[in-house]
Amino acid sequence: MTADFLIIGQGVAGSVLAWILDQRGCSVLLADDPALPSASSVAAGIVNPLTGRKLVQTWKADELFPFLHQFYVDIEQKLGVRFFYPKNIYRPFRSEAEKNDYLAITTTPEILPYVSHGVDNQLYSAYINNPYGGLEVRQAGWLDLNEFVRIIKGYFIRKSQYFEGSVSYNDLIIRDKDILWKDISIGNVIFCDGVQGRENPLFNWLPYNPVKGQILTAVVENYPIKTIVNQGVFILPIRDGLLRVGATYSWHDLDWQTTDDGRSFLESKVQALLKIPYQIVGQHAGIRPSTKDRRPFVGMHPNYPSIGIFGGLGTKGVSLAPYLAEQFARYLLDGEEIEPEANISRYVSLL
C-alpha cells in the first residue's frame, strides 16, 4: 500500500491540511490518538480580526479572513453539514476615554473594513453592562471545532484513510525515496501534533512558548444576544441558553487541569459584564501551541526533506490554519514559497 501523505494529529491543523491535500487529489492518511490531549477539543473556535485591548489587527488579517470564511463554508457546502457561524463581536467600551480611543482607531483605513459603528446598543443593555455603548467587529465568528473535527474524521474514515492511535516517531523508517510506516510506503509525513511537538525528537528544537487556557460553559435563561460579546473575556452563545466564557492565559503550570483560580478569574469578569443570572455547568483547560515569536511553524525538516510540521498555531488556530495550509500545500505540490515569517527555516540555526 502507498500514500502520498501521512498527517499525524487531527486537531484543527491536521484536519485543515488533510482536507486541502485530499481536495488537491492526493492520497492522505490521517492519524490521531484520542487518548492524547487536544487544544482543539477545548478551544472556543472564535475568529476575530481585531484583538486585544488596543484592537490590533490580527497578523495578515486581510488575507486570512476572506480566505477562512470561504474555506469553512466550502466544506459545509460540499459535505452538507454546518459547523461555521459567522457573527459580529460586540465590544462594549469600558469608559468614555476608551470610546474616544476606539473611535479614533477605527477610522483608520486598515481597521475600517472590520468595524461596524451602527450598533443598536439598546439591544444589549438589558443583558450586558454597556453604559458607554460599544462597537461591533465584523468578519468574525466561531467554528464549532468538535463538530468540525468529527466531520473531517468521518470523511477520512469513509475513505478508509483514518488511523486511530498514536504514531510513534520510532515506527517511521526513513528511506531514500519514501518513509515506511506499518508496511505503507509514504511520500511525506507531516506532524500536526500541536503542543506535543515539543516532545517530538524531530522538531523539539523549535522554540515553543505554550500558553495554558481555561474556559467555562454556562447556562442562562432568556438570553437573545446572537453576537459574541468581548470585554476582557468573551461570551459566546453556542446554542439557545448555552454560553462559552473564556479564556485565561497562563505561561506556567502547563498541565491540562482546570483550577479554582481559573474559574474565579473568569467568573469575576463575566459577573462584571453579564447582567442576568447564569449557572456554570462546565470548565475545561488546554494548552495552546504558541511560539516564541508568535508565528506558526510551517515547513519541512532541514535534514529530512520528506518530513514536515504544520503547527505552532498558538491562540488563533482557526484563523491561521486555512490560509497557511493552502500555502503549505502549494509548496508541497507546486513548489511555491512558504510565508517566510511562518517558515521553520527561520530557526534552522537552532538545530
Residues that bind ligand FAD (CB under 6 A): 8-14, 31-33, 36, 38-40, 42-46, 166-167, 192-196, 213-215, 246-247, 286, 288-289, 311, 313-319
Backbone φ and ψ of 254, nearest 5°? -80, 70
Q: How far is it, in rounded angstroms, from Cα 338 to Cα 252?
A: 32
Q: Which is nearer to ligand FAD, 4 or 33 (CB)?
A: 33
Other CB atoms closer than 10 Å to residue 112's CB: what's the count? 11
CB of residue 163 vs ligand FAD: minimum separation in angstroms?
8
Cα(10)–Cα(187) distance, rounded to whole angstroms?
A: 19
Smallest gap from residue 128 Cβ to ligand FAD (A): 19
Rank residues 188 and 196 by Cβ distance to ligand FAD and give the closer one. Answer: 196
Q: What angle do CA 19, 152, 79 make, to 5 degrees?
A: 85
Tell me which residue has cell 515506511: 180
Provide, rounded to whole angstroms, the least separation between the CB of residue 47 and ligand FAD. 6
* Residue found by looking up cell 466561531 in the block: 142
Closest separation in Å from C-beta 124 to ligand FAD? 21
Q: What residues have CB less than 8 Å from 115, skipping those under 6 apart? A: 50, 106, 135, 136, 137, 138
- Cβ–Cβ < 8 Å for 196, 36: yes
> H or E element: which one contains 187?
strand 184-191
CB of residue 123 vs ligand FAD: minimum separation in angstroms? Answer: 24
Lookup: cell for 309: 510540521
Rank residues 33 and 98 by Cβ distance to ligand FAD and give the closer one.
33
DSSP 107: T
Nearer to ligand FAD, 32 or 136 (CB): 32
152/215 with CB nearer ligand FAD: 215
Least separation, in Å, of the C-beta of 11 and ligand FAD?
2
- List C-alpha distances in Å: 124 to 77, 91, 224, 240: 33, 11, 9, 16
Residue 34 or 131 with smaller CB distance to ligand FAD: 34
Closest approach of Cβ 235 to ligand FAD, in Å?
Answer: 12
Between 10 and 130, CB nearer to ligand FAD? 10
Q: Which residue is nearest to ligand FAD (CB)?
A: 11
